[in-house]
Amino acid sequence: MVDKESLADRLKHFSDYIKILKELKKVNKNSFIQDYHYHGLAERYLQLSIECLLDIGSMLILSLDLRKPSHKQEVVDILEEEKIISSIMATKLSNIASFRNVLVHEYVKIDREIVYNILKTKIPELESFAKSIVKFLKKKKYI
């Protein structure tokens, strides 16, 4: 059974983080790269967004008793296999999910230009993921 309350909570936080990222997206590139306030916030909220994405996927996998992922990035693959998200979305999200490792484990090597480019181009993919999950939950009458 799907834990509706926990899933709704994660989706709410996910939405809040995306709103913050959309605000940061408005900053010009030079200011973003030079000012630690901007790139630091972007890195943190990207990490939180990715964590939410993976948590939401993991919660669905567990609730629906699907194949268990051997690592975090595999969550996206399982959601694709189960037709919860499309193959196109899975490909795009895999790249984002991989960036989580950079943010968490390779933080001293973070390229601010890459963070800026992700901020400028990947927010719609995060929003599409949330919409796909809500659509799936409604279709299955979980919400």
* 3-class state of residue 141 by DSSP: coil
pLDDT surpassing 80 at residue 1: no
Domain boundaries, the chain: 4-139
Mean pLDDT for the chain overall: 94
- Domain 4-139: assigned CATH number: 1.20.120.580
Q: pTM of the full predicted structure?
A: 0.92
Rounded to whole angstroms, the Cα distance separating 106 from 122 reads 20
pLDDT given at position 2: 77
pLDDT given at position 73: 85
If you average pLDDT over residues 97-116, what whole number do you get?
91
**What distances in angstroms separate CA 23 from CA 9, 31, 81, 123, 136, one per listed residue?**
22, 14, 34, 11, 28
If you average pLDDT over residues 116-130, what whole number do you get?
96
